[in-house]
Amino acid sequence: MSKFVKSLMCLLLISYEAFAIESSSQTESNAASLTYWLPEELNQPKSLEHFQTVVSSNAHGLENTNDAIKIALIYPSADLSDFWSRNYHALTSRLNDLRIAYTIDEFSSRQIDHALQTYYTDQVLAKEEAYDYVIFGPSELSVQADNIQRLASSEAFKTYIWAFHTPMKNWTHQPDAWFDFSSAKGAAALCDFVIKQLGNDVFYAMNRGIPGITDDQRSGDFKACVTERGNWLNLYEHFGQYQATGGRDGVELVIQSFPEVTMLHNANTAMTLGALEYLQEQGLQQQLFVTGWGGTAAEIELIKSGDLSATPMRMGDDVGVATAEAIKFDLLGKSDQVPQIYLGRIEVVDKSMSNEQIDKLTAEAFRYSGVENE
C-alpha cells in the first residue's frame, strides 16, 4: 500500500462518522433543501404507477384517424450510447401502433455540443407554429436551462424533456413532462450490488461525466452510498465529459498511478467503452471490476463476454413508449393523467447471470427498438 493511500485511510477513519451523519441527511426525502422538484411533489397520487401500466402493456390505438402531428426532436443522438436512437425507434413504433400519424424533424448533436443545441433551439422557435410537440434531450441540464425555458414558454407546442427528471424550482417556465430513468435509484441499486459482490473497504476510482445533476446522481450518489455503507475509499475521479476518450484517459491514469484500485465506476456507456478498450489493449481486463451505466446493447454484449462486470440496465424503450403515450393522452384531452415526471424501470445486470436471464431482460428493455439492433 502506498504512503498516499495510507494517509487517505487515516483521514477516512477520522472523518467517516461525521461524513455518515452528514450524508444521511442529504437524501432525496429532504425535499425542502433540494433545488428541484421530486416526482412525488409534482405527480398526482398513483399517476406514475397507472401510467407505467399503460407503458408496459400493448398499445391501444386511437379509433379515429387524425391529421399528422409535427414533432421536433433535439437530442445528442450522435453519441456512442444507443439510448437516443433506440428511444427514437420506440417512440415512432409506438406512435404507429397507436395509429397516430406524424412527421419528425431531427436535430442531432453530440453530448458536448452545447452551443449546437442552442442553435437548434433557435431554429425551432423561429418556426414554432409548425410544431405540435418538441422533445428535447439536453446535453446537460444546467447548461441548457435557458433553452429549455425558452421552449417551455411557447404556447405553440408541448415541450417534453428526455433523459432528465429534475424540474428546477427557480425556473419561470416548466416543460409539460419529463421522461427519464432515475439516476439516483440506479446509483442506489448499483451501490447495493457492488457492496454485496466486493465487500467493504474497497479502493475504487471513477470516470465521471460532465459536472451537473446527472453526474451528481450517477457518480455522487454512488460515491456517498459506498462510502457510508461499505467504508469504500475513492482514490481518483476523472471527469471524462461522457466521451470514450475521457473514459480511456481516466482508466489509463488509474492503472499508472493507483495500483491499489480494484473497481472502476463509469457514468455512461461511452466512457465505459473507452475504458474497456484500453484495458483490453493492455491485457488487463481482469484487473478491475468495471461497471457501466444504462445497459445499452454494447454494454450487454460486454457483460456476456465477461469484460464488463455489471451495469444498471434501463428498460430502455420505456422513455420512447411513454412519450408516445403522453402524446396520445394529450390528443384525447387527458394530459392531466400523464405524470409530470415519468421514470422508467432499472435492473442491475452482471456477468454472473446466464445468457437466458440477460436475454429475457433485454427483450423487455428493447421491446420496440429490437434486440437485433445490437
pLDDT digit string (tens) for the chain, length 374 residues: 444 444 444 444 333 333 333 333 344 446 778 899 999 999 999 999 999 999 999 999 998 767 999 999 999 988 767 889 999 999 999 999 999 999 999 999 988 889 999 999 999 999 999 999 999 999 889 999 999 999 999 999 999 999 999 999 999 999 999 999 999 999 999 999 999 999 999 999 999 999 988 899 999 999 999 999 999 999 999 999 999 999 999 999 999 999 999 999 999 999 999 999 999 999 999 999 999 998 888 999 999 999 999 999 989 899 999 999 999 999 999 999 999 999 998 999 999 999 999 999 999 999 999 865 44
Q: Alpha carbon of 303 to those of 18, 186, 287: distances in Å?
A: 37, 17, 16
Give the span between the Cα atoms of 233 and 42, in whole angstroms: 36
Give the span between the Cα atoms of 67 and 101, in whole angstroms: 7
* Count helices and strands in the chain by DSSP H and E runs: 14, 12
Give the span between the Cα atoms of 319 and 178, in whole angstroms: 9
Q: Alpha-carbon torsion 111, 114, 117, 121, what sign?
A: positive
Q: Choose among 60, 120, 122, 51: nearest CA to 319.
A: 51
What is the residue whose three cell numbers read 415512432? 92
What is the residue whose three cell numbers read 488509474? 254
Q: Do domains 3-30+184-293 and 36-181+316-345 have the same CATH topology?
A: yes
Give the span between the Cα atoms of 271 and 297, in whole angstroms: 15
Q: Alpha carbon of 278 to those of 56, 257, 287: distances in Å?
A: 38, 15, 12
What is the residue whose three cell numbers read 461525521? 18
Domain ranges of the chain: 3-30+184-293, 36-181+316-345
pTM above 0.85, yes or no: no
What's the CATH superfamily of 36-181+316-345? Response regulator (3.40.50.2300)
Give the span between the Cα atoms of 97 and 95, in whole angstroms: 5
Nine cell digits for residue 57: 402493456
Give the span between the Cα atoms of 302 and 312, in whole angstroms: 13
Q: What is the CATH number of domain 3-30+184-293?
A: 3.40.50.2300
Strands 289-291 and 341-343: unpaired
Give the span between the Cα atoms of 323 and 160, in whole angstroms: 8
Neighbours of 106 (CB within 10 A): 14
